[in-house]
Amino acid sequence: MSPVIVKDDLPRLIAYPIGEGLLRQELGTALPGDRTAFYFLYLSGVQVNHYDPVISKEPRYPVLALDREAPQLCADTIARLEEQRRKKYELLHGDQPGSPGEMITHEFDCRLSVALFPVKARLRRKLEDAILDDGLRPMKNWLTAPPDVQAQQRPLVLVYDEATGKVSAKFAEPWEGKERVYR
């Protein structure tokens, strides 16, 4: 089963657009179970610096991203995850010789990440339906691309447009500088 690496708590005004279970069920075998990681990001990721559903009036914004690497996380989140992994390693292995860093790197080595970004709570059900209606086919196509295409794929981003109530899929724009933000 795919691990949930980060799941940020949300204020009441916002919610995640779709649940992990429903997404896994709808994508079926297209979503590889081994080394797929889920990230439910609000304050733990850098995405909130470009769109915060609590304060933004922007009518178009990303709600989900499929990527062949983990989304960029803020420094505090990375430190917290490393500490959790170190403690888990020590619990499992005690004082045995070895490198906790190797365990950490191997344990969360993912071939695919699914990043979900919060939306206004009043739109959650509408967004879930839009993802199921308009987002599943492009997601399945991206996930089942041949290996030679996968090596060159840019991340797939589902963008919601409040004016039309539709989700559209697009490839992520190139990263500017060090920050990896889905647009």
Query: Each residue of 48-59: pLDDT tens digit?
Result: 988 999 999 999
The model's pLDDT over 141-164, given as tens digits with 9 standing for 90+, comes to: 999 999 899 989 999 999 999 999
CA distances from residue 118 to 50, 57, 61, 108 in whole angstroms, order as listed: 13, 14, 10, 23
Predicted TM-score (pTM) of this structure: 0.86
Burial code of 99-110, b = ≥16 C-beta within 10 A, e = fewer?
eeeebbeeeeeb
**CA-CA distance, 53 to 100, in Å (whole number)?**
37
What pLDDT score does 143 carry?
95
DSSP at 45: B
- Both structure tokens of 140: 């399945």
The model's pLDDT over 72-107, given as tens digits with 9 standing for 90+, comes to: 998 888 888 888 788 877 777 766 555 544 444 434
Question: Residue range 106-125: average pLDDT?
Answer: 84
Q: Where are the domains of the chain?
A: 4-171
Helix axes 20-27, 136-143, angle to 10 degrees: 70
Question: Using an 8 Å Cβ cutoff, are 47 and 14 in contact?
Answer: no
